[in-house]
Amino acid sequence: MTDPRLYSPDGRPRARLLGIAPPGETGAWNAITDVPGVEVGYRTVISGDGPLRVGAGPARTGVTAILPRGRDGVGRPCAAGWFSLNGNGEMTGTAWIDEVGQLSMPITISNTHAIGPCHAGVVEWINRAHPRLAREWLLPVCAETWDGYLNDINGGHITSAMVAETLAAARNEPLPEGSVGGGTGMNCYGFKGGSGTASRRVPFGSASFTVGVFVQANFGARHELTIAGRRVGAELDSANPMETTAWQGTASAPGGAGSVIVIVATDAPLDALQCKAMARRVPLGLARTGTTGSLFSGDLFLAFSTASDRLSDTGFPKGEPTAESLVVTTRLPWNRMDALYTAVVEAVEESVLNALIVNADMTGRDGHHSPALPHDRLREVLAR
């Protein structure tokens, strides 16, 4: 059996197999699913070729579903916090996270114009899987990045039924990466981008905690790309049609346009402020890969902790309050957070590398082409 830290489930090499990885000890799968209980599902849509016909394709898109406590734990809160580096994007449900510091709903990630079907699909699925929970109100987290260079983004290829099926299929296991799920039609640093993941183990006395990261990478200009501390983008002489092809009916997109969504999970006992502090460290990991945070990139990050598994205290109250109604939680001391911050930065950097490396060329609507990061050429450049 191949080592999932080195190989994707389909046998393709990950960053570590190429000798490219930030420091730190990974979890068993080097994935967000190393955090106990976290389940992830994908639905990938690839169909059609040739000229764009809205509604008919070509389609290069999908949806990713992340369930912090798995399918059976929906409604049980996790401490949570989020951070926006640049607001040219969307992540629903964040006003409620700001209000109560908790996340109890699934997270879905897809393309920019699929926020509606994702939101509706989560509601439909919870109505079937957790009907008692659906009697109150549902505020799922739905995030997006823009795949319109390759995909018929206005064609309605993501449906609420598809999203519900993705949630039902979520599992705790090693994850495919690259052009899968919501990352199917995405680009990163002028190469084919998409879904990437990584994890880190963090010792804490006689115990240890896990930090897992999932990235939907659709950001960065080719000249910015930095791997293992070296600016390699200009030295990788693959064509870069995304910055030269006329599209969107007028001209090429500005370098760095796109977006990036990052989800950070941990089983370390954190409160909402500490989760927000974890989310604020995400840009440091992204910066190690070269990005400077383009105005045309929506950069939104969410962190949650699964440590305190308890009933929700945000629904309609029942009966009179008693001493047993009080919520008691445990958290790490603030002066022990640095190791977790380091884990976030390292895992974010490696997740982006995996999204780029576990990938292949893709041609989408109107012949628009996205080349894969060339492994052999990258090795040559880094060897110099």
CA 290 to mean position of chain CA atoms? 18
Amino acid in the structure at residue 123? V
Which of the residues 299, 305, 351, 370 is marked catalytic?
299
Judge whether 206 counts as a catalytic residue.
no
- Sequence-ordered list of residues with C-beta below 8 angstroms from that of 140, at least 6 positions apart, any chain: 92, 93, 105, 106, 107, 108, 118, 119, 122, 123
CA distance 384 to 374: 16
E-strand spans in 68-193? 78-86, 102-103, 107-111, 141-145, 187-188, 191-192
Judge whether 104 counts as a catalytic residue.
no
Of 115, 197, 118, 112, which Cα lies nearest the Cα of 147? Answer: 112
Judge whether 259 counts as a catalytic residue.
yes
Structure-token pair, residue 63: 């949806």
- Sequence-ordered list of residues with C-beta below 8 angstroms from that of 274, at least 6 positions apart, any chain: 79, 81, 305, 331, 332, 334, 337
Distances (CA, A) of 234 to 24, 221, 252, 256, 291: 28, 10, 19, 14, 14
**Cβ 279 vs Cβ 303: under 8 Å:** yes
Which of the residues 8, 259, 294, 370 is marked catalytic?
259
Catalytic residues: 259, 297, 299
